[in-house]
Amino acid sequence: MADPLTAISTRATPQSQPADARQVPNNAGGHTFTVDAATRLRRFLVLGTDGGTYYTDAPDLTRDNAGVVLEMATTATTELVAEIVAVSHGGRAPRQNPAIFALAAACSLGDDDGRRAALDALPLVARTGTHLFLFARYVEQFRGWGRGLRRAVANWYLDRPVDEVAFQAVKYRQREGWSHRDLLRLAHPRTDDERRTALFRWILGHDDTPVDGLSVVDGFRRARAATSAEQVAALVTEFGLSWEMLPDEHLNAPVVWEALLERGMPQTALLRQLPRLTRLGLLSPLSARTAEVAARLSDPDRLRAARVHPVNVLVAQRTYAAGHSARGESRWEPSRPVVDALDQAFYAAFGAVEPSGRRLMLALDVSGSMSFHPVSGLPITPREASAALSLVTASTESAYEIVGFTGGGLGALSTLSISPGQRLDDAVRAVSDLPFGATDCALPMLAALDRGLEVDTFVCYTDNETWAGSVHPHQALARYRDHTGIDAKLVVVGMTATRFSIADPTDPGMLDVAGFDASVPTLISDFARGL
């Protein structure tokens, strides 16, 4: 008769059972640790909840994360605001919605000092008219328009240069059910500046208001009255109009886009308009214009100044290289110099990363749960994003191996034939085409031990929904340390905004980071070096 006591162990516990009293069931049926409130907040701000996960739909995931945000907004408002500003102002998240939602909660639910800090942070987080409209939409979910909120919105219009306010008023006229006219009527900003007063009157609907000295408003008015694309192009050159300010009927004219390019399109607009520019014949591979655009796309200074997030570059690169829109309504022939420039831009958007000089195993969870639902409302899955992120670290390190794993024993882990030398879309596509499987996040450590590999730091890109292994990941890491004598570390790159983690929070050799955070490669390198 088998001895049932032989199944009880603190060194090798099936993932379907808790190995530690602190562990909880995850959504897949395994048991994992939970992350603290600060880590959950960071995952929410960086990853968002728009796409849900394989096991949790978006509304449930949003409610779960919103609970953490609302709790911090009530009990730790100033700390919440500091993290919001750090993520938003630092360009660390691909989308602003989570940060703006959290700021709306903070300026509604906190104590007096906390609400004041949140309102003071409004211009740092809501940097464009679109952001301000989104904030107005979110804040009404928590509170009415009291004096402090009105004053904060009024200051948004009063404290920045009047020409910048005019540009925002013309570029982003109405979004999220709000307009600048609505906000001015609520906030009642008062000023002695004649130009600003004239701008406010024009926004409020007084179309006969003289706009002397407000060139962008004058240019916008003239563009609306223009009768030809050539006239619109001339106005773009004269007044520095952006494409959003132009009449729709002239937006398919090459001469208009030539003027926009010549004037200098903002980095984010340039990324988004590459398909249109290509369809209009403005980005042929051998033209001087294409070379100029390619140089702008990959310019690290321009990327940094525009706070372009690397994942947005990745999405732009994949879309452009595919040669068609997501639904196939429009098609174009990708220009090779542009594809190359977008590859370079992706790596450049992370900034300079100092190599750790350590031996790294970059382990990609390619199981089924990483392969279906998009992340942060973007057209990219956690599996695809993890492949791209791993290439950034690989591009800075000299000693690394990239592996993919699912569940089903050591044979379910294999070296991936991707490298920074490949085109980004080819590398991501290679990972996308792998077969699906169960999830066993212990496999990287077990396989390294089985193969006699010397690894200083394991980097696991996963949704933390592990369940299929006979030993927990933290136990596998302990086994690796014991058998090799290497004090190996584990970095868990969470690719979804859940509360789960395979990392033991009491082990200083394990670190949780949020997958889409633009600082991830630097965090990995610093942690591997012991900083």
The model's pLDDT over 35-90, given as tens digits with 9 standing for 90+, comes to 999 999 999 999 888 766 766 777 777 888 889 999 999 999 999 999 999 999 99
Which pLDDT score is estimated for 261? 96
| Mean pLDDT score, 163-177 | 94
| Mean pLDDT score, 93-106 | 95
Would you mind telling me the total number of residues written for the chain in this entry?
A: 531
HSE toward the beta carbon, residue 84, CA cutoff 13 A: 32
Pairwise pLDDT comparison (124 vs 63), residue with the higher score: 124
Q: How confident is the model at residue 6 (pLDDT cuts 50, 70, 90)?
A: very low
Pairwise pLDDT comparison (50 vs 262), residue with the higher score: 262
Least confident of 210-214, 219-223, 236-240, 270-274: 210-214
Share of the chain above pLDDT 90, in %: 79
Whose structure tokens read 């920045």?
160
Which pLDDT score is estimated for 288? 93
Prediction pTM value: 0.91
Mean pLDDT of the chain: 92
For residue 409, pLDDT beyond 50: yes
Tens digits of residue pLDDT in 483-515 = 999 999 999 999 988 999 999 999 999 999 998
Least Cα distance to 471 among 3, 19, 26 occurs for 19
Least Cα distance to 336 among 423, 267, 271, 254 occurs for 423
Q: Domain 356-529 sits in which CATH superfamily?
A: von Willebrand factor, type A domain (3.40.50.410)
What residue ranges do the domains of the chain occupy? Answer: 37-211, 214-264, 266-352, 356-529
263 φψ region: left (φ > 0), alpha (ψ -120 to 50), beta (else):
alpha
Sign of the torsion formed by the C-alpha atoms of 52, 54, 57 and 61:
negative
Which pLDDT score is estimated for 9? 58
- CA 253 – CA 434 distance, rounded (Å): 42
| Mean pLDDT score, 207-223 | 86
CB contact burial 175-201 (16+ within 10 A = b; e otherwise): beebbbbebbeebebeeeeebbebbbb
Q: How confident is the model at residue 325 (pLDDT cuts 50, 70, 90)?
A: confident
| Mean pLDDT score, 375-386 | 84
Q: Which residues contact 313 (CB under 8 A, 6 or more apart)?
A: 271, 303, 342, 345, 346, 349
- CA 207 – CA 212 distance, rounded (Å): 13
Assess contact for 322 and 425: CB atoms under 8 A: yes
For residue 307, pLDDT beyond 80: yes
Assess contact for 104 and 139: CB atoms under 8 A: yes
Which pLDDT score is estimated for 62? 83
- CA 323 – CA 319 distance, rounded (Å): 7
